[in-house]
A = this chain, B = another copy of it.
Amino acid sequence: MTQVTQQQVAEKAGVSPALVSLVMRGAPNVSDHRRRLVLEAAAELGYRPNVLARSLASRRTHTIGVVVNDLHNPFFAEVADGIQAAADEADYRLLFGNGRHSPEGEAVAVETFLEFRVDGVIVAGTLELASIEEAARAVPLVVVARSEHIAWADTINTDNEAGAHLMVDHLVAAGHRRIAHIDGGGGAGAAHRSIGYVDAMRRHGLDDHIQIAAGDFTEDTGRAGAAELLDRARPPTAIFAANDLSAIGAFDEALSRGMRIPDDVSIGGYDNIGLAAMAHLGLTTINQPSEDIGAAALDMLLQRVETGRDATEHVVLPPELVVRTSSGPPPGDPT
């Protein structure tokens, strides 16, 4: 419980505290002899450097804070994996902050990170633009998986509008006309997926069939949204949910009404989380290269942290349609 300090190690090893500091940081110009001496003393005493003191003195924490919107959403877990892998490689440590599925929660997490003086922050969530701007003034920051135009921070994401187009095009090609959308609310990228949906419907001359149910990227709202849509006088023959989680909810709602998928209703998602590939779901969805996004986000961030790059960078990756068994021709279609 008691703190072992550099000082104590120094005394035990018979050297100066400064030398201990050098050894602990792996400095080059230390004689093997003394290095060994110090290392031994440290091990014997169970010395553990105090990051607080170190960071206070060096103004660097060598730590990146990652704000995750929702620990429950596998998409973020996948992005986090990518970040983690890149961080391991670069020898940075990672701290995660839980956004509790709300912008306010994320703001709290960011504030915590700022107070801890992390070297950089990655926002994988729905933090408000104003908060992002403020945070970006204090620390290098990159925003992941959003489509908004953000001037003061790096961004990396797929083209969410294009992704929505892919899905609608696919459904239309299968013969659907009454294609509804379950919105993602404030979810990362949700707004642009919604825009893309409306766009594509218009392009296909399907203006009259545009139907949107509210949602927020969760299974629960997916279920509720599907219920609402399926209860309508002219229910959709296909439902495009803003993300896989809500698609799963919609899937579940349809099933529990005794509907068959895709025979009675087709369902499309977005994200291509691992679960989507499961045989019992077979969710048609839009793939985002989540781990790559995470890894790239960390790389961009470190580049900024270490080289002090100032100009912002914006990477947009192409989304990709993944067709599985949850989509097919609409009921009554002769094809």
Contact = CB atoms under 8 A, between A and B. Distances in A.
Contact of A116 (B51, B81, B94): B51
B96 A97 contact: yes
A294 to B, nearest CB: 11
A84 interface: yes
A280 interface: yes
Most buried by B among A50, A71, A77, A80: A71
A98 B100 contact: no
A117 B1 CA distance: 11
Interface string A272-309: 00110011110000000000000000000000000000
A116 B56 CA distance: 12
A138 B97 contact: no
A252 B72 CA distance: 21
A49 interface: yes
Contacts of A9: none
Main secondary structure of the interface of A (DSSP, over half): helix
Nearest to A78: B72
Contacts of A251: 278, 280
B84 A112 contact: no
A50 to B, nearest CB: 6
A252 B276 CA distance: 11
Contacts of A48: 111, 114-115, 138
A31 interface: no
A48 B117 CA distance: 10
A154 interface: no
A72 B71 contact: no
Interface string A1-27: 100000000000000000000000000
Ranked 9 nearest A-B pairs via Cβ: A96-B96, A256-B279, A51-B115, A71-B77, A252-B278, A52-B56, A255-B279, A72-B77, A252-B279
Interface of A: 1, 48-53, 55-56, 61, 63, 71-72, 74, 76-78, 80-81, 84, 93-98, 100, 108, 111-112, 114-117, 137-138, 219, 248, 251-253, 255-256, 274-275, 278-281
